[in-house]
Amino acid sequence: MPSGERSAAGTRSSMLLGRHAGSPRRRWIVVGLGLLLLANAVVAVVALAGLGTNPSSGSSKNPSPAAQPLASATASSSTAARTPPGVVSAVQWMAQTLPKTVVVLADAQVGDALRAQGFSAVRPVTGATSTPAAGVVVSTPQLRAAATNSAIDAAVRSAIPLAVVGSGGSQITVAQLSRLSAAELATHRAADAGLRKSSEPELLANPAVRVDSGAAAVLRAGALDLRAATVLAQMASIGAVHLRAVVGDAAEQRAGLPARVVELTATPFDEQSVYLRGLNPPYRPAAQQSLSGGVLRLTWSLRPDPTDISR
Protein backbone atom coordinates (compact mmCIF):
# COMPACT_ATOMS: atom_id res chain seq x y z
CA MET A 1 0.00 0.00 0.00
CA PRO A 2 1.40 3.48 -0.83
CA SER A 3 2.92 5.35 2.16
CA GLY A 4 0.23 8.07 2.06
CA GLU A 5 -2.59 5.56 2.29
CA ARG A 6 -0.79 3.58 5.01
CA SER A 7 -0.29 6.77 7.00
CA ALA A 8 -3.97 7.69 6.67
CA ALA A 9 -5.03 4.21 7.77
CA GLY A 10 -2.72 4.41 10.76
CA THR A 11 -4.05 7.83 11.79
CA ARG A 12 -7.65 6.67 11.52
CA SER A 13 -6.93 3.53 13.53
CA SER A 14 -5.12 5.52 16.23
CA MET A 15 -8.18 7.72 16.64
CA LEU A 16 -10.44 4.68 16.91
CA LEU A 17 -8.16 3.04 19.42
CA GLY A 18 -8.41 6.12 21.60
CA ARG A 19 -12.17 6.27 21.22
CA HIS A 20 -12.71 2.60 22.07
CA ALA A 21 -9.93 2.06 24.60
CA GLY A 22 -10.56 -1.06 26.62
CA SER A 23 -13.24 -2.41 24.24
CA PRO A 24 -13.08 -5.80 22.41
CA ARG A 25 -12.89 -3.92 19.09
CA ARG A 26 -9.36 -2.70 19.90
CA ARG A 27 -7.85 -6.14 19.31
CA TRP A 28 -9.52 -6.42 15.91
CA ILE A 29 -8.35 -3.02 14.77
CA VAL A 30 -4.83 -4.29 15.40
CA VAL A 31 -5.67 -7.50 13.52
CA GLY A 32 -6.91 -5.44 10.55
CA LEU A 33 -3.72 -3.41 10.47
CA GLY A 34 -1.68 -6.60 10.84
CA LEU A 35 -3.41 -8.07 7.80
CA LEU A 36 -2.53 -4.95 5.81
CA LEU A 37 1.13 -5.10 6.85
CA LEU A 38 1.31 -8.85 6.25
CA ALA A 39 -0.20 -8.51 2.77
CA ASN A 40 2.39 -5.91 1.82
CA ALA A 41 5.19 -7.92 3.43
CA VAL A 42 4.58 -11.01 1.32
CA VAL A 43 4.67 -8.88 -1.84
CA ALA A 44 7.96 -7.34 -0.79
CA VAL A 45 9.52 -10.66 0.25
CA VAL A 46 8.56 -12.42 -2.98
CA ALA A 47 9.79 -9.52 -5.09
CA LEU A 48 13.12 -9.31 -3.24
CA ALA A 49 13.62 -13.05 -3.60
CA GLY A 50 14.09 -12.49 -7.32
CA LEU A 51 11.39 -14.90 -8.37
CA GLY A 52 10.87 -13.25 -11.74
CA THR A 53 9.34 -10.16 -13.22
CA ASN A 54 5.67 -9.36 -13.11
CA PRO A 55 3.78 -10.46 -16.21
CA SER A 56 2.95 -7.96 -18.89
CA SER A 57 -0.70 -7.25 -19.49
CA GLY A 58 -2.73 -5.85 -22.35
CA SER A 59 -4.26 -3.42 -19.87
CA SER A 60 -3.63 -2.53 -16.26
CA LYS A 61 -7.38 -2.35 -15.73
CA ASN A 62 -9.73 -5.27 -16.17
CA PRO A 63 -13.37 -4.16 -16.07
CA SER A 64 -15.65 -6.36 -14.01
CA PRO A 65 -18.88 -7.91 -15.32
CA ALA A 66 -20.78 -5.07 -13.66
CA ALA A 67 -18.60 -2.43 -15.25
CA GLN A 68 -18.49 -3.96 -18.72
CA PRO A 69 -21.61 -5.93 -19.68
CA LEU A 70 -21.60 -8.60 -22.35
CA ALA A 71 -21.66 -7.14 -25.83
CA SER A 72 -25.01 -7.30 -27.52
CA ALA A 73 -23.61 -8.51 -30.81
CA THR A 74 -24.16 -12.25 -31.26
CA ALA A 75 -23.48 -14.76 -33.96
CA SER A 76 -26.32 -16.02 -36.11
CA SER A 77 -28.31 -18.97 -34.79
CA SER A 78 -26.76 -21.33 -37.34
CA THR A 79 -23.23 -20.29 -36.36
CA ALA A 80 -24.05 -20.53 -32.66
CA ALA A 81 -25.38 -24.03 -33.18
CA ARG A 82 -22.00 -25.10 -34.58
CA THR A 83 -19.97 -23.48 -31.79
CA PRO A 84 -18.97 -25.93 -29.03
CA PRO A 85 -20.33 -25.07 -25.57
CA GLY A 86 -16.81 -24.71 -24.20
CA VAL A 87 -15.97 -22.04 -26.77
CA VAL A 88 -19.20 -20.21 -25.99
CA SER A 89 -18.42 -20.23 -22.24
CA ALA A 90 -14.83 -19.08 -22.75
CA VAL A 91 -15.83 -16.24 -25.06
CA GLN A 92 -18.61 -15.13 -22.70
CA TRP A 93 -16.14 -15.00 -19.80
CA MET A 94 -13.68 -12.98 -21.88
CA ALA A 95 -16.37 -10.54 -23.02
CA GLN A 96 -17.44 -9.95 -19.42
CA THR A 97 -13.96 -9.69 -17.95
CA LEU A 98 -11.29 -8.52 -20.40
CA PRO A 99 -10.87 -5.26 -22.33
CA LYS A 100 -11.93 -5.61 -25.96
CA THR A 101 -8.58 -4.14 -27.10
CA VAL A 102 -6.44 -6.89 -25.57
CA VAL A 103 -4.26 -8.83 -28.02
CA VAL A 104 -5.59 -12.39 -28.29
CA LEU A 105 -3.98 -15.45 -29.87
CA ALA A 106 -6.75 -17.85 -30.87
CA ASP A 107 -7.74 -20.48 -33.38
CA ALA A 108 -10.09 -19.57 -36.24
CA GLN A 109 -13.32 -20.63 -34.53
CA VAL A 110 -12.59 -18.81 -31.27
CA GLY A 111 -11.30 -15.82 -33.23
CA ASP A 112 -14.56 -15.48 -35.13
CA ALA A 113 -16.58 -15.69 -31.91
CA LEU A 114 -14.39 -13.05 -30.25
CA ARG A 115 -14.69 -10.65 -33.18
CA ALA A 116 -18.46 -11.03 -33.00
CA GLN A 117 -18.20 -9.82 -29.40
CA GLY A 118 -16.16 -6.78 -30.40
CA PHE A 119 -12.59 -7.89 -29.74
CA SER A 120 -10.43 -5.90 -32.12
CA ALA A 121 -6.95 -7.43 -31.78
CA VAL A 122 -7.46 -11.15 -32.43
CA ARG A 123 -4.49 -12.86 -34.06
CA PRO A 124 -4.59 -16.31 -35.70
CA VAL A 125 -1.98 -18.89 -34.83
CA THR A 126 0.08 -20.07 -37.78
CA GLY A 127 3.61 -21.25 -38.30
CA ALA A 128 4.64 -17.68 -39.03
CA THR A 129 2.90 -16.11 -36.02
CA SER A 130 5.21 -14.21 -33.69
CA THR A 131 4.51 -14.10 -29.97
CA PRO A 132 3.17 -10.71 -28.82
CA ALA A 133 4.84 -9.07 -25.83
CA ALA A 134 1.52 -8.91 -23.99
CA GLY A 135 -1.98 -10.25 -24.26
CA VAL A 136 -3.82 -13.51 -23.77
CA VAL A 137 -3.99 -16.84 -25.49
CA VAL A 138 -7.06 -19.06 -25.76
CA SER A 139 -5.64 -22.55 -25.58
CA THR A 140 -8.01 -24.97 -27.31
CA PRO A 141 -7.29 -28.46 -28.64
CA GLN A 142 -7.21 -26.97 -32.15
CA LEU A 143 -4.75 -24.24 -31.18
CA ARG A 144 -2.47 -26.63 -29.32
CA ALA A 145 -2.38 -28.88 -32.38
CA ALA A 146 -1.64 -25.92 -34.66
CA ALA A 147 1.10 -24.43 -32.48
CA THR A 148 3.98 -25.91 -34.47
CA ASN A 149 5.95 -22.69 -34.04
CA SER A 150 8.26 -23.37 -31.08
CA ALA A 151 7.90 -19.82 -29.73
CA ILE A 152 4.10 -20.03 -29.81
CA ASP A 153 4.14 -23.46 -28.19
CA ALA A 154 6.39 -22.17 -25.40
CA ALA A 155 4.15 -19.13 -24.90
CA VAL A 156 1.07 -21.33 -24.59
CA ARG A 157 2.77 -23.58 -22.05
CA SER A 158 4.07 -20.73 -19.88
CA ALA A 159 0.98 -18.50 -19.96
CA ILE A 160 -0.74 -17.82 -16.62
CA PRO A 161 -4.22 -19.41 -16.45
CA LEU A 162 -7.08 -16.93 -16.00
CA ALA A 163 -10.09 -19.16 -16.67
CA VAL A 164 -10.61 -22.85 -17.43
CA VAL A 165 -13.74 -24.36 -19.00
CA GLY A 166 -14.44 -27.89 -20.14
CA SER A 167 -12.40 -30.93 -19.22
CA GLY A 168 -10.20 -33.62 -20.69
CA GLY A 169 -9.36 -33.29 -24.35
CA SER A 170 -11.93 -30.53 -24.86
CA GLN A 171 -10.60 -28.28 -22.08
CA ILE A 172 -10.15 -24.61 -22.97
CA THR A 173 -7.84 -22.33 -21.00
CA VAL A 174 -7.76 -18.57 -21.28
CA ALA A 175 -4.30 -17.51 -20.13
CA GLN A 176 -2.19 -14.37 -19.87
CA LEU A 177 1.10 -14.34 -21.73
CA SER A 178 3.86 -14.06 -19.17
CA ARG A 179 7.60 -14.01 -18.63
CA LEU A 180 7.16 -16.02 -15.44
CA SER A 181 8.14 -19.67 -15.39
CA ALA A 182 5.64 -22.21 -14.10
CA ALA A 183 7.80 -22.68 -10.99
CA GLU A 184 7.88 -18.94 -10.27
CA LEU A 185 4.12 -18.60 -10.66
CA ALA A 186 3.56 -21.61 -8.41
CA THR A 187 5.77 -20.03 -5.73
CA HIS A 188 3.90 -16.73 -5.91
CA ARG A 189 0.48 -18.36 -5.73
CA ALA A 190 1.49 -20.74 -2.93
CA ALA A 191 2.69 -17.82 -0.79
CA ASP A 192 -0.55 -15.95 -1.43
CA ALA A 193 -2.70 -19.00 -0.67
CA GLY A 194 -0.87 -19.63 2.59
CA LEU A 195 -1.36 -16.04 3.69
CA ARG A 196 -5.06 -16.12 2.81
CA LYS A 197 -5.56 -19.41 4.65
CA SER A 198 -3.87 -18.16 7.82
CA SER A 199 -5.38 -14.68 7.97
CA GLU A 200 -8.91 -14.74 6.54
CA PRO A 201 -10.49 -16.94 9.26
CA GLU A 202 -9.61 -14.11 11.69
CA LEU A 203 -12.42 -12.08 10.18
CA LEU A 204 -14.92 -14.65 11.47
CA ALA A 205 -13.93 -13.92 15.07
CA ASN A 206 -14.01 -10.14 14.67
CA PRO A 207 -16.96 -8.76 16.69
CA ALA A 208 -17.38 -5.93 14.18
CA VAL A 209 -17.90 -8.36 11.30
CA ARG A 210 -21.07 -10.37 10.72
CA VAL A 211 -20.67 -13.07 8.06
CA ASP A 212 -23.42 -15.10 6.39
CA SER A 213 -22.87 -18.84 6.17
CA GLY A 214 -21.84 -19.07 2.50
CA ALA A 215 -19.30 -16.30 2.86
CA ALA A 216 -18.02 -17.82 6.10
CA ALA A 217 -17.14 -21.04 4.28
CA VAL A 218 -15.08 -19.04 1.79
CA LEU A 219 -13.18 -17.26 4.57
CA ARG A 220 -12.50 -20.50 6.43
CA ALA A 221 -11.00 -21.91 3.23
CA GLY A 222 -8.91 -18.79 2.62
CA ALA A 223 -10.51 -18.49 -0.80
CA LEU A 224 -11.13 -14.73 -0.94
CA ASP A 225 -8.75 -12.39 -2.75
CA LEU A 226 -6.37 -10.96 -0.15
CA ARG A 227 -7.05 -7.41 -1.34
CA ALA A 228 -10.73 -7.84 -0.49
CA ALA A 229 -9.98 -9.43 2.89
CA THR A 230 -7.61 -6.59 3.78
CA VAL A 231 -10.21 -3.95 2.90
CA LEU A 232 -12.86 -5.78 4.95
CA ALA A 233 -10.56 -5.80 7.98
CA GLN A 234 -9.99 -2.07 7.64
CA MET A 235 -13.72 -1.37 7.21
CA ALA A 236 -14.31 -3.30 10.44
CA SER A 237 -11.96 -0.89 12.22
CA ILE A 238 -14.21 1.98 11.11
CA GLY A 239 -17.59 0.46 11.98
CA ALA A 240 -19.82 -2.59 11.56
CA VAL A 241 -19.57 -4.79 8.47
CA HIS A 242 -22.08 -7.42 7.33
CA LEU A 243 -20.52 -9.67 4.71
CA ARG A 244 -23.53 -11.13 2.95
CA ALA A 245 -21.90 -13.01 0.09
CA VAL A 246 -18.65 -13.82 -1.66
CA VAL A 247 -19.31 -14.24 -5.38
CA GLY A 248 -16.93 -16.69 -7.03
CA ASP A 249 -16.41 -17.46 -10.70
CA ALA A 250 -16.16 -21.19 -11.45
CA ALA A 251 -13.87 -20.74 -14.47
CA GLU A 252 -11.48 -18.51 -12.51
CA GLN A 253 -11.49 -20.86 -9.53
CA ARG A 254 -10.54 -23.76 -11.80
CA ALA A 255 -7.60 -21.63 -12.94
CA GLY A 256 -6.46 -21.33 -9.32
CA LEU A 257 -7.68 -17.79 -8.64
CA PRO A 258 -9.53 -16.69 -5.49
CA ALA A 259 -12.95 -15.04 -5.45
CA ARG A 260 -12.75 -11.26 -5.97
CA VAL A 261 -16.34 -10.06 -5.55
CA VAL A 262 -18.07 -9.38 -2.22
CA GLU A 263 -21.53 -8.12 -1.30
CA LEU A 264 -21.88 -6.30 2.01
CA THR A 265 -23.45 -3.56 4.09
CA ALA A 266 -21.33 -1.33 6.32
CA THR A 267 -21.86 1.50 8.82
CA PRO A 268 -21.36 4.35 9.34
CA PHE A 269 -22.06 4.78 5.64
CA ASP A 270 -20.38 8.14 5.11
CA GLU A 271 -17.12 7.15 6.80
CA GLN A 272 -16.99 3.83 4.97
CA SER A 273 -17.62 5.57 1.64
CA VAL A 274 -14.77 8.02 2.27
CA TYR A 275 -12.44 5.14 3.09
CA LEU A 276 -13.33 3.22 -0.09
CA ARG A 277 -12.96 6.30 -2.29
CA GLY A 278 -9.52 6.98 -0.86
CA LEU A 279 -8.05 3.55 -1.61
CA ASN A 280 -5.22 3.21 -4.12
CA PRO A 281 -4.14 0.16 -6.14
CA PRO A 282 -3.90 -2.67 -5.46
CA TYR A 283 -6.61 -2.35 -2.80
CA ARG A 284 -9.03 -0.08 -4.65
CA PRO A 285 -11.99 -2.04 -6.08
CA ALA A 286 -12.29 -1.93 -9.85
CA ALA A 287 -16.05 -1.46 -9.53
CA GLN A 288 -18.63 -0.55 -6.89
CA GLN A 289 -22.30 -1.32 -7.48
CA SER A 290 -25.24 -0.43 -5.26
CA LEU A 291 -27.77 -3.27 -4.96
CA SER A 292 -31.20 -3.32 -3.37
CA GLY A 293 -31.48 -3.09 0.39
CA GLY A 294 -28.41 -0.91 0.75
CA VAL A 295 -26.09 -3.75 -0.25
CA LEU A 296 -22.82 -2.78 -1.90
CA ARG A 297 -21.07 -5.06 -4.38
CA LEU A 298 -17.31 -4.56 -4.57
CA THR A 299 -15.32 -6.12 -7.42
CA TRP A 300 -11.55 -6.22 -7.58
CA SER A 301 -9.63 -6.53 -10.85
CA LEU A 302 -8.44 -9.83 -12.20
CA ARG A 303 -4.93 -10.46 -10.85
CA PRO A 304 -3.32 -13.67 -12.13
CA ASP A 305 -0.02 -13.04 -10.33
CA PRO A 306 -0.66 -12.08 -6.67
CA THR A 307 2.65 -10.20 -6.48
CA ASP A 308 1.51 -7.73 -9.12
CA ILE A 309 0.82 -4.62 -7.03
CA SER A 310 -0.25 -2.50 -10.00
CA ARG A 311 -3.84 -3.79 -9.88
Can you list the positions of beta strands (E) in the chain? 104-106, 122-124, 136-139, 160-165, 172-176, 209-211, 240-247, 261-267, 287-290, 296-299
Q: What is the pLDDT along the chain (311 residues), one digit of tens a residue?
A: 444 443 333 333 332 323 333 344 444 444 444 554 444 443 333 332 332 333 333 333 343 333 333 333 344 444 555 788 999 999 999 999 999 999 999 999 999 999 999 999 999 876 656 677 679 999 998 888 776 666 677 777 888 999 999 988 889 999 998 888 888 989 999 999 999 999 999 999 999 999 999 999 999 999 999 999 999 999 999 999 999 999 999 999 999 999 999 999 999 999 999 999 999 999 999 999 999 999 999 999 999 989 887 66
Prediction pTM value: 0.73
Q: Can you give the residue ranges of every domain in the chain?
A: 3-50+185-299, 77-178
Q: Give pLDDT, residue 144.
A: 82
Concatenated DSSP letters of 61-117:
----TTTSPPPS----HHHHHHS-HHHHHHHHHHHHHS-TTS-EEE-HHHHHHHHHT
Distances (CA, A) of 48 to 35, 235, 240: 20, 30, 37
